[in-house]
Structure 1
Amino acid sequence: MRRASLLVVLGLVALPSIIGGKVMVVGTLLGPERLGIPSGMALPLELLQGSPFSTYLVPGLLLALIVGGIHLGAFILLIRRHPWAPLASATAGFSILIWIFIQMVFVPFSILQAVYFAAGLAELGFLLLLLDLIDRQDRRM
Structure 2
Amino acid sequence: MKTVNRVLAALNLFVGACAIVGGLAAIISPEEPFGITVDLLKGTPFDNYLIPGILLFIVIGIGSIVSAFLLLRYDLKYQGYISSVFSWAVIIYLVVQYIMTDLVLPIHILLFIIGIVEVALSIVIINKQRQSSFQS
TM-score by length of 2: 0.82
Q: Show structure 1 runs of 4+ deviating over 6 A.
A: none
- What do residues 6-56 of structure 1 show as CA deviations (whole Å, max 9, x unaligned)? 01110110011012101110113xx76xxxx8xxx5221111111110111
Gap regions ≥5 residues in structure 1: 134-141
Distance 1:125 1:87 in 2: 11
- 1:70 and 1:11 map into 2 onto residues whose CA distance is 10
Alignment of 1:51 onto 2:53: no
Match for residue 23 of structure 1 among 19, 22, 25: 25
Alpha-carbon distance between aligned partners in 2 of 1:83 and 1:19, rounded to the nearest angstrom: 31
Report if the CA contact (8 A) 1:73-1:88 is conserved: no
Q: In the aligned structure 1, how far is the partner of 2:123 from the partner of 2:53?
A: 30
* Number of residue pairs the alignment of both structures matches: 124
Q: Could you give the per-residue CA deviations for residues 121-141 of structure 1, whole angstroms, max 9, x where no partner exists?
A: 0101112233446xxxxxxxx
Higher helix share: 2
* Maintained 8 Å contact 2:84/2:123: no
Using structure 1 for the length normalisation, give the TM-score.
0.79
In 2, Cα distance between equivalents of 1:109 and 1:19: 18
C-alpha displacement of 1:76: 1.5
Q: SS at 1:83's partner residue?
A: coil
CA distance in 2, matches of 1:84, 1:130: 9
